[in-house]
Amino acid sequence: MSAPFTLVLATRNQGKIKEFRRILDGISQGTINLVGLEEFPFTTEVEETGTTFKENALLKARSICKETGLPAIADDSGLCVDALDGAPGILSARYAGVHGDDQANNARLLRELENAPEEKRGAHFVCVAALVLPDGREHVEEDFFHGSILFAPIGAQGFGYDPLFRPQGFAISTAQMSAEEKDLISHRGKSLRAIAPHVFSLLATLG
């Protein structure tokens, strides 16, 4: 068996890294060596200056691919709430002002929806996964995860807004699901499964 291809996961978010590895490892069956940015401490923090999830995902994947010289995959994802006209959207990770402060972000979301009745709390997650190769080839996939926002956080699994998000057709929050249950229906799980065939076919052409 030939040596596995190395693919860089362009994130320092440990929750995302675990999720990426869990999903792609299950699909790749050992053909891809997935490494996070902890293996590349010299890489710079990519400023998310894009106005869409797609732009930000490509910004991150392109930057990390250029800095490491390796194929890179990145995602940009966020929560869009109907009653807030799609907010927090691309600002989801820094909704409360500090990037990655899940507790503060959840607290602000609950304050913003304090007077919203259940029928006005519809929401969906978006995930855009972007693959960039050193030769300039790129591929992007987008998917969604529909549900609603709870009145209080429930559950201890997952990360981000998981304790506040109840998937459509379920009576529990995403944070009450097992990792395997979440992967099957989540925006990230679906977008990564969609991009996986392109990862394999494009990496195979690098020889």
The CATH number of whichever domain residue 32 belongs to comes to 3.90.950.10
Least confident of 16-30, 42-56, 177-191: 16-30
Report the side by side order of strands in the sheet with 122-132.
32-36, 5-9, 72-81, 122-132, 138-149, 165-167
Query: Mind listing the pLDDT tens digit for each residue in 142-201?
Result: 999 999 999 999 999 988 999 999 999 999 999 999 988 998 999 998 998 898 888 877
What is the residue range of 103's domain?
A: 5-204
**Looking at residue 149, what is its pLDDT?**
98
pLDDT digits (tens, 9 = 90+) for 68-127: 999 999 999 999 999 999 999 999 999 999 888 999 999 999 999 999 999 999 999 999
- HSE-up of 186 (CA within 13 Å, CB side)? 28
How many angstroms separate the CA atoms of 9 and 75, rounded? Answer: 9
**Among 2-6, 25-29, 68-72, which range has the highest average pLDDT?**
68-72
Q: What is the pLDDT of residue 162?
A: 96
Q: How confident is the model at residue 1 (pLDDT cuts 50, 70, 90)?
A: very low
Domain count, the chain: 1
Distance CA 156, CA 102 (A): 12
Q: Mean of the pLDDT values across residues 31-42?
A: 87
Question: Catalytic site residues?
Answer: 76
Give the global pTM.
0.87
Alpha-carbon gap, residue 152 to 149, rounded angstroms: 9
